[in-house]
Amino acid sequence: MKKQDRTTPSGYPLRRKGLRKHHRPGEMIIQSLLVIAAIFSILTTLGIVYELGKEALLFFNLPGLTLKDFLTGTSWQPHIGQFGILPLVTSTFITSFIAMLIAIPLGMASAIYLSEYASPKARNTIKPILEILAGIPTIVYGYFALMFVTPLLRSIFGNDVVQIYNMASGGMVMGVLILPLIASMSEDALSAVPNSLREAAYGLGATKLEVALKVVLPAAISGIAAAMIIGISRAIGETMIVAVSVGAGPNFTFNPFKGAETMTGHIVRISGGDLSYDSIDYNSIFAIGLLLFFITFTLNLISQRIVRRFREVYE
Amino acid sequence: MNQVFLSMKNSFNDNLSNRHRSGKIWRTIFIASTFLAIFILSVLLIDIIDNTAGYVALKADVSPDSLAQGGVALEDLPKETLVGILQANLSQGAFNKLENEKSFQQRSHSNVYDLVVERVVKYDVADSWSLFDSLLKSAEIKAEAVSDYPDAELRFVSWLTPGFISQPQSSHAVDAGIRTAILGSLWTIFITILAAFPLGVGAAIYLEEYSVDNWFNRLIRTNINNLAGVPSIIYGILGLAIFVRALESFTSGAVFGLVDPTTANGRTILSAGLTLALLVLPLIIINSQEAIRAVPQSLRRASLGIGATKWQTIWAHVLPNALPGILTGTILAVSRAIGETAPLVVVGAATAINFDPSSPFSKFTVLPMQIYQWTSRPQGEWHHLAAAAIVVLLIMLLSLNAFAIVLRNRSTKRF
């Protein structure tokens, strides 16, 4: 094999021995400034881990708090020494689950329609509309959940069944928020499947649906799985919808029509007032934040891994 | 042999209609799901518009009829009489304050009248109805208003008025506006751009033009992708710990001797802007990288070939050609920052302020924060205000996005 010159992504040849040019301090200074700009992103991550870790450690050092209580206790009342994070975690997962119940089927169906069925013209109109849906600020969705979906649910299931603040409406609206994300990422994955696969299947007599579901979908499964995991991670980290419509107190319940408080919603409510430094509340938001960061970070990493490892490479 | 083929052919034919039927059914399902999303979007927009106007039942502190003099309605009274009413009903201090802001001689008649309505009559909302209800069930609403609020005045109002945009926040729903919030948003975004744009573009240039494929640069790349997926509230917590607390002397302006007397802590516009800058930085980097990557190699080689240095090549050829893409990406990232609420709640956006921010070291509120505040209140009139503020926010975002699209379409070069 011929030895290739090493290059940067944009194809600059790297300096080779014997071709050394003028020493140019100006160029060096600019390059170092650019490196510093790039290092800022790493500093941000380190900052997140360090600050969350430091303050969370103070929280875990509180008397009467053990990690086991933190992870398995079912009551979150830090002021009276009950440090169970479960109520916050369960409601986070319930709202995210409801969101995915909406977002995955609808998002997948839209993706298949856009990539396999829609004419180029239809695709060019519908995709921007979905992007608008994704670009609406989450506080607007929160308003929509509280002012429209909750009254709707209450009129369907009855006022005594559905509380004003409930997990169902927040979760459903969150599903609408995530739908475009899943649709557009899955559509990218489906469109990336080469046409020769589709044509081969048609040649064997498959119908359009069979091509879409049995040939294209499996070939794009890594991208689709990644989209779903990113969607879940978005749902878990989503804040304003749940802060507005889901509730105002930690509540250990599995009933979606009841109010509860998610991790993010709790952080927003606690820090709404002027939070005094080094209070239990102040430290607790860092502990919750650390858990949140850990969960979403892991999900994002898994998603990237899936894309890299299971991607079908054609040609 | 023939037998087998025939039976296969038969079963193929038998199945064919089934397969086509299920194909049609699923096709309908796919289309329906796609249009369901569009339908929800329209319901959302209609619901918001529905709340931006409608009937309100207004209760006056001092009825305007009782202020009318000699059979002349309040609004037709001469300016001097209106000033007299103000003087009689306000405390001396409040009256002098108004005089000091702008003397009554110079104020117009309508301005003084507005002051009388705002300060003396003081309308309060007893009840409010949505636009469609007001249009379709106007008779019922009128009857309800008469029976429930006999001393209130029923009026059809639009919550979204020029006054709504130009007035500061107020505790009376009728007078409340979003001027403070809009100014706060603009200040914050200005700082965000100032910090994130150079850093983001710089990082993108490094990654695309300078970096070699080694562990360090791979780490930076992976890290940027991961940062783009971190929930925004985490950035809020980071901003609280670093900008508000650790760098308090810097973000409150103490280092520069510019402490705003109303703030005196780190919960300032500067902290908010920097927090949002961290939030949009990964997006700007990723978008700029794509724009730089799209500049063709031939340009770089031609430039290098005639003896330009690397930076000269980048500055004179790569960046000008990538700029439209970079700007489009930045505008999209900024429109994300304008709509962010959660990190700013944590950083400490003030809940109720009614004076304009005057420097980066001022206390602040932003538009989404104001919407959050109003949505969280139980009384219906605030929800109408929130809807009106949402319309303003959406118009701001839409025009930004339209600008980005125009920019992209006008400057797309084909090489």
Binary contact (A31, B210; C-beta < 8 A)? yes
Is B146 part of a structural domain of the chain? Answer: no
Which of B116, B149, B166 is the last residue before a domain boundary? Answer: B116
Task: Give residue A11's pLDDT.
Answer: 67
Nearest to A117 among B27, B209, B346 (CB): B27
Q: How far is B337 from chain A, CA to nearest CA, in Å?
A: 9
d(CA B248, CA A72): 37
Please report the number of interchain residue pairs, chain A to chain B, with beta-carbon separation below 8 angstroms.
279
Is A57 part of a structural domain of the chain? Answer: no
pLDDT winner (highest mean) among B13-27, B197-211, B239-253: B197-211
Is A163 part of a structural domain of the chain? Answer: yes
For residues B103 and B239, state if they share a domain: no
Grade residue A1 by pLDDT with cuts at 50, 70 and 90. Answer: very low
Grade residue A273 by pLDDT with cuts at 50, 70 and 90. Answer: low
| Least trusted range by pLDDT, from A4-8, B286-290, B347-351, B375-379 | A4-8
Residue with the bigger pLDDT between B144 and A310: it is: B144
pTM for this structure? 0.86
| Residues of A whose CB is below 8 A from B237 | 51-52, 267, 285-286, 289
Is B11 part of a structural domain of the chain? Answer: no
| Full DSSP string of B164-217 | HHHSPP-SSTTT---HHHHHHHHHHHHHHHHHHHHHHHHHHHIIIII--SSHHH
For residues B85 and B193, state if they share a domain: no
Q: A180 and chain B: CB distance < 8 Å anywhere?
A: yes
What domain count does chain B have? 2
| Residues of B whose CB is below 8 A from A113 | 27, 30-31, 33-34
Three-state DSSP state, B151: coil
What's the pLDDT tens digit per position in B172-182?
777 788 888 89
Is A52 part of a structural domain of the chain? Answer: no
What's the pLDDT tens digit per position in B229-263?
899 999 999 998 898 888 888 877 777 777 666 66
Nearest to B342 among A147, A207, A240 (CB): A240
Task: Give residue B193's pLDDT.
Answer: 94
Is A84 part of a structural domain of the chain? Answer: yes
Is B1 part of a structural domain of the chain? Answer: no
Structural domain for A211, as ranges? 76-310
Task: Give residue A173's pLDDT.
Answer: 94
What domain count does chain A have? 1
Grade residue A2 by pLDDT with cuts at 50, 70 and 90. Answer: very low
Nearest to A41 among B285, B292, B387 (CB): B285
What pairs with residue B156 in β-bridges?
B55
Backbone angles phi, psi at B51, to 5 degrees: -95, 0
For residues B221 and B366, state if they share a domain: yes
Strand extents, DSSP E, B305-348 = none
Angle between helical axes of A86-112 and A263-272 (0-180°, round to 10): 120
- Given a cut of 80, whether residue A111 has pLDDT beyond it is yes
Q: A210 and chain B: CB distance < 8 Å anywhere?
A: yes
Which of B116, B133, B150 is the last residue before a domain boundary? Answer: B116
Is A25 part of a structural domain of the chain? Answer: no
Nearest to A33 among B20, B202, B393 (CB): B202
Task: Give residue B189's pLDDT.
Answer: 93
* The two three-digit tokens of residue B54, written as one number: 């409608």
pLDDT mean over B213-237: 89
Q: Where does A61-119 have alpha helices with state H?
A: 67-72, 86-112
Q: Which of B30, B225, B299, B367 best tests the A interface by mutation, with the highest count of A CBs <10 A?
A: B30
Is A15 part of a structural domain of the chain? Answer: no
Give contacts of B 312-371 with A, CB under 8 A. 318, 335-336, 338-342, 345-346, 348, 351, 368, 371
Q: A11 and chain B: CB distance < 8 Å anywhere?
A: yes
Nearest CA in chain B to A12: B209
> Cβ contacts of residue A52 below 8 Å, gap of 6+?
A286, A289, A290, A293, B234, B237, B238, B241
Q: B304 and chain A: CB distance < 8 Å anywhere?
A: yes
| Residues of A whose CB is below 8 A from B282 | 41
- Given a cut of 70, whether residue A19 has pLDDT beyond it is no
Q: B230 and chain A: CB distance < 8 Å anywhere?
A: yes
Average pLDDT, whole number, for chain B? 84
What's the pLDDT tens digit per position in A131-187?
888 889 999 999 999 999 999 999 999 888 888 889 999 999 999 999 999 999 999
Task: Give residue A5's pLDDT.
Answer: 55
What's the pLDDT tens digit per position in A70-107?
888 788 887 777 788 888 999 999 999 999 999 999 99
Is A189 part of a structural domain of the chain? Answer: yes
Grade residue A18 by pLDDT with cuts at 50, 70 and 90. Answer: low
CATH at A219:
1.10.3720.10
Give contacts of A 253-292 with B, CB under 8 A. 264, 267-268, 271-272, 274-275, 277, 285-286, 289, 292
Structural domain for B297, as ranges? 179-410
Average pLDDT, whole number, for chain A? 86
For residues B251 and B377, state if they share a domain: yes
Which of B116, B134, B166 is the last residue before a domain boundary? Answer: B116
Is B156 part of a structural domain of the chain? Answer: no
